[in-house]
Chain A
């Protein structure tokens, strides 16, 4: 089945230690998104790639970076995770901005 796959499902990292979360898709969607979701809150858009064009939200901290080496893969890099960065990180894809499909998320714990 075509889908959006996030690895790992659970990630524990040390305070200040760089961490990378990955997302892959088999839908051949041209847009990929990264959302941060804290407990009992709405998903918050960090950035998205529309094809190869990177679109950063104005309030996304510099600590968060992203890479999209090809259509199928997108990575979220957190350069120096703080305790406040503990959250569920959701990857989503869409065709244009239609047919959004979410992955199951990666829950990040910072210790």
Chain B
């Protein structure tokens, strides 16, 4: 089946720093999604990308759908303690279930 490579696996950063994480795939997707999951909760959608090259922001978060349709990145600017959690990318081909990356665990040091 399709697999997503998400990196880095974990990050420790100082409050106020910017963060970047990315996902790559060996095959193309029609949709890229970025989720955040906090302990004991389900994933919550942050940003959805539907078009190659699309760059979308949601507050301090910015994500891009790669032109090759095989990759996506998520940036978080000026991190704050509540940004702590696990960030998952997910790719989707039309009319099929999501495929998830393995997640990036973000720790923010105040």
CA separation between A92 and B90, bound complex, in Å? 14
Which of A33, A97, A105 has most B Cβ within 10 Å? Answer: A97
Query: B43 — which chain A residues lie within 8 A by C-beta?
Result: 43, 90, 102
23 CB contacts below 8 A, A to B, read: A4-B42, A6-B42, A40-B86, A41-B103, A42-B102, A43-B43, A43-B88, A43-B100, A45-B98, A48-B97, A90-B43, A92-B42, A96-B95, A97-B96, A100-B45, A102-B42, A102-B44, A104-B40, A104-B41, A105-B40, A105-B41, A105-B42, A107-B40
**A104 and B42 in contact (CB under 8 A), knowing A40-B103, A40-B105, A42-B88?**
yes
CA separation between A4 and B41, bound complex, in Å? 12
Is the C-beta of B92 less than 8 angstroms from some C-beta in chain A? yes
**A41 and B102 in contact (CB under 8 A), knowing A97-B92, A100-B45?**
yes
Is the C-beta of A82 less than 8 angstroms from some C-beta in chain B? no
Is the C-beta of B66 less than 8 angstroms from some C-beta in chain A? no
**Is B97 in contact with A90, judged by CB distance below 8 angstroms?**
no
Is the C-beta of A8 less than 8 angstroms from some C-beta in chain B? no
Query: B45 — which chain A residues lie within 8 A by C-beta?
Result: 100-101
**Interface Cβ pair total, 8 Å cutoff:** 46
CB 8 Å contact bits of B86-110 with A (1 = contact, 0 = none): 1010001011111011110100000
CB 8 Å contact bits of A83-111 with B (1 = contact, 0 = none): 00000001010001100111111010000
Chain B, interface residues (CB within 8 Å), range: 20 to 34
Chain A, interface residues (CB within 8 Å), range: 20 to 34
Q: Distance in Å from the Cβ of A64 to the closest Cβ of chain B?
A: 16
Q: A100-B33, A104-B42, A105-B40 are in contact. List 5 more A-B contacts (CB 8 A).
A: A4-B42, A6-B42, A97-B95, A97-B97, A104-B41
Query: A48 — which chain B residues lie within 8 A by C-beta?
Result: 97
Q: Distance in Å from the Cβ of B97 to the closest Cβ of chain A?
A: 6
Query: A6 — which chain B residues lie within 8 A by C-beta?
Result: 42
Query: B86 — which chain A residues lie within 8 A by C-beta?
Result: 40
Query: B105 — which chain A residues lie within 8 A by C-beta?
Result: 40
